[in-house]
Amino acid sequence: MSRRALITGPTAGIGNAYARELAKRGYDLTLVARDTAKMEAIATQLRSKHRIDVDVITADLTTVEGVANTVNAVTDTTKRVDLLINNAGASLAGWFGTTDIADEDRQLDLLVRAPMHLMDAAIKTMAGRGGGQIINVSSVAAFTPRGVYSAHKAWLLNISEWANVHYADVNISVMALCPGFVRTEFHQRGDMDVSGVPKWMWLKADKLVKTSLKDLEKGKSVSIPTIRYKVLSVLARYLPKGLVTRAAKRGR
């Protein structure tokens, strides 16, 4: 029986790279995003190229309805999800305290509430049938004091590390992927100035995804791509917080 992956935010960037790599590996896919037209175009291409089944779910994960519809797909026994990838994300250009609190609420829903509900559904479903895998796309920002975005990503990192240990006895692997700067549409959509970010800090989504899938198969709870970001994450944990906070302001 073929395996199925459910991916949130598959229309661009890391989510799109996951969709293409997993399709290449023979996974059936369930794609979840707001842009139906983009998803249908991707689905048509992947069906034709890899002869896989691809379902499309139009859902806004900042809404109760959107999350509920996606939870239904996670728990669907007729198309069991073996790998859940919580990837959908966005960021705000301003710092907390200067932004609209309604926008912050939507960010909280997208980056914390939605992954929490989908993880809950996946764990309960996977535990009852012998196991499964979950990837939560966090960020190296989770290791730094960097406002609300890093706080959300730190939550995702923490819950992933705990769940990977706690549910190991029912064969469920949970991993946080913590990338740095990746060549995607993410920063442009958030209207963020990244002109000061040096070239060596940028990663390619396809290589990032392949590395993360290797780490998942090894049972790792955290995947940090490249030696440079592994070093930076260690420094962020152990250098004086004041120094780390000042450095973390760059790239906004």
| Fold (CATH) for 4-248 | Rossmann fold (3.40.50)
CA distance 16 to 56: 13
What is the pLDDT, as a whole number, of residue 190?
43
| C-alpha triplet 9, 14, 19: angle, nearest 5° | 70
Residue by residue, pLDDT tens for the chain (252 residues) are 689 999 999 999 899 999 999 999 999 999 999 999 999 999 999 999 999 999 999 999 999 999 999 999 999 999 999 999 999 998 888 889 999 999 999 999 999 999 999 999 999 999 999 999 999 999 988 888 778 989 999 999 999 999 999 999 999 999 999 987 655 554 445 444 554 555 655 578 888 999 999 999 999 999 998 666 676 665 556 444 543 454 455 543
What is the pLDDT, as a whole number, of residue 183?
56
What is the pLDDT, as a whole number, of residue 241?
53
Sequence spans of domains, the chain: 4-248
What is the pLDDT, as a whole number, of residue 239?
45
Under 8 Å between Cβ of 205 and 184: yes
What is the pLDDT, as a whole number, of residue 189?
52
